[in-house]
Amino acid sequence: QKEVEQDPGPLSVPEGAIVSLNCTYSNSAFQYFMWYRQYSRKGPELLMYTYSSGNKEDGRFTAQVDKSSKYISLFIRDSQPSDSATYLCAMSPSVRHDMRFGAGTRLTVKP
């Protein structure tokens, strides 16, 4: 079993839809939870960063962490074609930078 599980999709939605992306994990030591966005043939870029449990909102993006269920989510409101990318969840323990990534979910937002 992988430490971090993420449905690779692909996921296709119409413009304006609400998108929900999810990851589950098995290592209870993870404290830092991140979402990276990766456009085709580019390196990943940090989108959202959350420490421990709770919600964090940034514009159209909301990240949620439920440590009791070992489950994290990323919501995208009013999705745009420019949101079309692969979204990777990532998490790490509190001390080392041993970050574990999910496989990534490929999202396409159709105009």
Partner 1 sequence: NAGVTQTPKFQVLKTGQSMTLQCAQDMNHEYMSWYRQDPGMGLRLIHYSVGAGITDQGEVPNGYNVSRSTTEDFPLRLLSAAPSQTSVYFCASSYSLAGGPGTGELFFGEGSRLTVL
Selected from 14, 59, 82, 97, the binder of partner 1 by CB under 8 A is: 97
The structure tokens listed for 103 are 């496989």
The answer to whether residue 40 forms part of the interface with partner 1 (CB under 8 A) is no
Selected from 19, 25, 76, 104, the binder of partner 1 by CB under 8 A is: 104
Three-state SS sequence of 81-96: HHHCEEEEEEEECCCC
Selected from 14, 41, 68, 111, the binder of partner 1 by CB under 8 A is: 41
Q: How far apart are CA 64 and CA 2, in angstroms?
A: 21
Q: Which is nearer to partner 1, 75 or 101 (CB)?
A: 101
Selected from 34, 85, 107, 109, the binder of partner 1 by CB under 8 A is: 34
Q: Is 43 exposed, middle or buried (0-12, 13-18, 19+ CB in 10 A)?
A: exposed
Vertex 50 angle, CA 46 and 54, to 5°? 145
Stretch that binds partner 1, among 14-22, 44-52, 58-66, 67-75 (CB under 8 A): 44-52
Q: Which is nearer to partner 1, 36 or 72 (CB)?
A: 36
